[in-house]
Amino acid sequence: MSAKKKSASKSGNKKTTTEELELAVLIPDEEHPDYCPGSISGDYGEDCESSWNPENDPSGEADGSEELGSFPSIPGPIPHPLPVQPGPIIPRPIFPRFCGPVSGTYRSGGRRRPPFAHPISIHPRPVVPRWIPGPIFPINLFKLTVRVDVDRYHPQERISVEATRLFPNQKSHIIAEVTSDRCSGWRNRVIRANIVYRDGVNSMLPGTEIVFTARRTRGFGYGAYQIELRGGGISPKRYDLSYTSRYFDPVEFEVDRVSNAGNIVTSYATGSHPNRPAGLPSETITLASVYKRAGFDAKMSPNSSVIPTSGAGANGTWSDAEMHNAMVTYWSRFANRPQWAMWILYAARHDSGRGLGGIMFDDIGSNHRQGTAIFTDSFIQDAPAGDPNAPAWRRRMEFWTAVHEMGHGFNLAHAWQKSLGNPWLPLANEPESRSFMNYPFNVSGGQASFFSDFRFGFSDQELIFMRHAPRRFVQMGNSSWFVNHGFEAPDETNHTGNWDLVVRPNRGSNTYKFLEPVTMELKLSNTSEASSAIEQDLLEDGRHITVFIQREGGEPKQWRSLMTHCHEPHADSLNPGESIYGAHNISVSTEGWLIDEPGFYKIQAAIDLTDEIVVSNVLRLYVAPPNQDAEANIATDYFSEDVGRVLAFQGAPALDSAEKILETVVETCSENPAAKHARIALSTPKLRNFKILEADGGREDLAIKTQVSKVSAAAKIQGAALLKDPNVAADTLGHIPYFETLRKAAEALEESGAEAEAIKMMTKTIKVMKDRNILASVIDNAERRLKRRKD
């Protein structure tokens, strides 16, 4: 490589001199013999080349598929007579059935943004943004990434699907072998594939077969894509897809060289050495173009740098540790996390000596496979005696070594080691393969035999791995070296760090008694350095949060509030460090009880703030087994939807059967915290004139009846339930519902004229607040309300 331009720049932590790398000069894809442009009217099974190569079709016409039928015959007379003299019969034009390439990546899902105001920075003159309330869209948590591999370069006839559920965090991965690839006329390409590999949560991607469809909608290109999972007795699941890229994943390579590494080779003219396969196109390939043809959207980092020799220490040669240090220092993208990026170092020589031509040195630490090295002063410079073009041989060998080491970065092992270690699936050794991952001098006939038949690519096993294996096996910095090798672990959230969501019981213990409803408190905090406008009721109205509950050993289930509140939007400023709160009975959902049986449960919540989805911690709680026979005896009736409604609504007199069950709980399980919930639910409707819609006589006789309030009696029951053992009551109800219930009881007393009782209840409430160290602002509010009542 000749340095084309030098300039000063910053790479990693050091200022270095940058040099531009040579560009690829490639023949057009459609002219390359290794490129498959698409499908012509055939079933899978026809070699792509034979379906395209006119030499195999002397008639010059494309083969028709037997199953699809032959080309339409010339039509007979036009069925309807023309109003004028009939003209000549014009045959319908016959179009060849050609389907363009579909290989690449497709995606489904994506976030649908709810139309409420998003957090914005508050300027000195805050302006509350106006927005139009509309339907609330749930957070779209399920996404598919589909990789179709049936044409373009070295198609492997595979379709792989990666499913991600953001919350709770679950992944699933399947790979299917194509069994049928039909180009049905002008409009459709339909590809069927049998699932042969699974990883992760199987239930996310059920079935035994995949059907991928690409359909032309307007013009010549495809406009609609769909995938269907079917077979194995499941109801077919269809997902619409959008085309993302012709490649399977992006990757960036950064090349740095040590100053004494000489001229480094990052490109190679395939026609420069006479020992090469007949028919190999003459082109200048580069490190990036090789991996592009392997299926990656490979780019070279602009931060190509020259590194001083001082990093090699006094001996002037490089140890693995010294190279790792250089990577940390000079690689502009170094990070201790998985990423589709790799660092390539050209150095003169390794500590091992001239016998080491290159090494993927990064098998230390927690993030492997991010760095590789090529040693320019090593045996890779030793052209065989009598070689017809020694300079070209050296250039080819150095280029080959670089791609080989980079292949290790993709977790590819040597061709003869495929069955060793922890392969991702059973693999056969390929000791004679003409792949970048095989040593040229190890095959039968040595390097001359190797390069006479080497097309600068990878084996099918290697391509299937790189393109379709679970991405953590392939991605740099992810699976450790040689684990799940192709051989030889949430950033969906777009986490900004500005928000923190906590789900907590806000009590001393995460253990709940059998029958006890679980009240969960949510706390969303502004952890940024700027104020933000936020809808105050975000956590309380039941519409904006998503909660998942999983009994350990069971499937996660989404909690949906039995009540959602629609209200006039009002955004307030939330300063750095401030929080908003919400509390919900999460035992009961629209689909019944989610926390009922004894055992361990995991809870996690998320909220969509438009710019990001903030996910909470995972809370683990325990539900104890029944403490007495009475609890076990009533369980079947208690864990019903109607009882759940009575508890969630804090009273539903129309559901009298459910209310009777709660009365039984009060009578027979009085020491169980569930009894406190029951007392509150049974008494709350009596705090006001409660309207009931009676429909005993049918739709024609609907009537609204009013149950007269019994404020004093109800407040007395609630006072006893909440203030006799305030700590027990607050622990089981949760702070927010506990103090809210007391406030409403005091208000009902005041409205009914029992002001002294109201003041007494509020005074006791404030004492409990102080004893339990409630937020000072909440106590202040309560004291102000009490003062107004007294005045």
Q: Which residues are near other proteins by CB under 8 A?
A: 352-360, 363, 379-380, 401, 404-405, 408, 413-414, 417, 420-421, 439, 441, 481-482, 488
Closest alpha carbon to 610 in 35, 65, 106, 136: 136
- Find the shortest distance in angstroms from Cβ 447 to other proteins: 10
Q: Which is nearer to other proteins, 414 or 735 (CB)?
A: 414
- Find the shortest distance in angstroms from Cβ 408 to other proteins: 5
Provide DSSP, 395-413. Answer: HHHHHHHHHHHHHHHTT--
Residue 336 CB neighbours (<10 A): 10
Asked whether the beta carbons of 769 and 723 are under 8 A apart, the reply is no
Asked whether the beta carbons of 143 and 170 are under 8 A apart, the reply is no
- Find the shortest distance in angstroms from Cβ 387 to other proteins: 16
- Find the shortest distance in angstroms from Cβ 353 to other proteins: 7
C-alpha span between 397 and 168 (Å, rounded): 48
Asked whether the beta carbons of 356 and 267 are under 8 A apart, the reply is no
- Find the shortest distance in angstroms from Cβ 483 to other proteins: 11
Residue 720 per-residue DSSP state: H
- Find the shortest distance in angstroms from Cβ 380 to other proteins: 7
C-alpha span between 430 and 463 (Å, rounded): 14
- Find the shortest distance in angstroms from Cβ 375 to other proteins: 9
- What's the token pair of residue 10? 């910053």
- What's the token pair of residue 477? 């910095």
Q: Which is nearer to other proteins, 414 or 543 (CB)?
A: 414
- Find the shortest distance in angstroms from Cβ 311 to other proteins: 21
Q: Which is nearer to other proteins, 412 or 769 (CB)?
A: 412
Q: Which is nearer to other proteins, 404 or 513 (CB)?
A: 404
Q: Which is nearer to other proteins, 437 or 522 (CB)?
A: 437
Q: Which is nearer to other proteins, 98 or 379 (CB)?
A: 379
| Backbone torsion region of residue 738, taken as left when φ is above 0, otherwise alpha when ψ lies between -120 and 50, otherwise beta | alpha
Q: Which is nearer to other proteins, 338 or 357 (CB)?
A: 357
Count of residues making up the chain? 791
Element (H, E) at 284: strand 284-286
Asked whether the beta carbons of 541 and 491 are under 8 A apart, the reply is no
Q: Which residues pair with 690 in a beta bridge?
A: 707
Q: Which is nearer to other proteins, 186 or 441 (CB)?
A: 441
382 alpha-carbon distance from chain centroid: 48
- Packed helices 776-790 and 755-771: angle between N→C axes, nearest 10 degrees: 160
- For 696, residues 6+ apart whose C-beta sits below 8 A from its C-beta are none
- Find the shortest distance in angstroms from Cβ 352 to other proteins: 7
- Find the shortest distance in angstroms from Cβ 355 to other proteins: 4
* Pairing mode, strands 98-99 and 39-40: antiparallel
Q: Which is nearer to other proteins, 420 or 774 (CB)?
A: 420
- Find the shortest distance in angstroms from Cβ 287 to other proteins: 15
Element (H, E) at 39: strand 39-40
- Find the shortest distance in angstroms from Cβ 361 to other proteins: 8
Helix (H, G, I), strand (E, B) or coil at 416: helix
Q: Kindly compute the dihedral angle of the four CA atoms of residues 411, 415, 420, 426, in this order, to the nearest 10 degrees.
A: 90
For 709, counting Cβ atoms within 10 Å of its Cβ (0-12 exposed, 13-18 middle, 19+ buried), the class is middle
Q: Which is nearer to other proteins, 420 or 563 (CB)?
A: 420
Q: Which is nearer to other proteins, 417 or 589 (CB)?
A: 417
Identity (one letter) of the amino acid at 6?
K
Identity (one letter) of the amino acid at 741?
T
Give per-residue burial for 714-730: e unless 16+ CB within 10 Å, then b.
Answer: bbbbbbebbbeebeebb
- Find the shortest distance in angstroms from Cβ 178 to other proteins: 32
In what order do the strands lie in the sheet containing 599-608? Answer: 511-512, 613-623, 599-608, 545-551, 557-559
Measured CA to CA in angstroms, residue 204 lies from 162, 165, 173, 518, 657 at distances of: 10, 9, 9, 28, 39
Q: Which is nearer to other proteins, 413 or 503 (CB)?
A: 413
Asked whether the beta carbons of 624 and 514 are under 8 A apart, the reply is yes
Q: Which is nearer to other proteins, 354 or 710 (CB)?
A: 354
C-alpha span between 371 and 343 (Å, rounded): 5
- Find the shortest distance in angstroms from Cβ 410 to other proteins: 12
Residue carrying the six token digits 């309807």: 80
Q: Which is nearer to other proteins, 354 or 716 (CB)?
A: 354
- What's the token pair of residue 344? 């390539």
- Find the shortest distance in angstroms from Cβ 429 to other proteins: 12
- Find the shortest distance in angstroms from Cβ 482 to other proteins: 5
- Find the shortest distance in angstroms from Cβ 453 to other proteins: 19
- For 66, residues 6+ apart whose C-beta sits below 8 A from its C-beta are none
C-alpha span between 724 and 715 (Å, rounded): 13
- What's the token pair of residue 4? 């084309």
Q: Which is nearer to other proteins, 343 or 581 (CB)?
A: 343
Q: Which is nearer to other proteins, 340 or 487 (CB)?
A: 487
Whether residue 426 has a cis bond before it, omega within 30° of 0: no
Q: Which residues pair with 557 in a beta bridge?
A: 549
Q: Which is nearer to other proteins, 292 or 404 (CB)?
A: 404
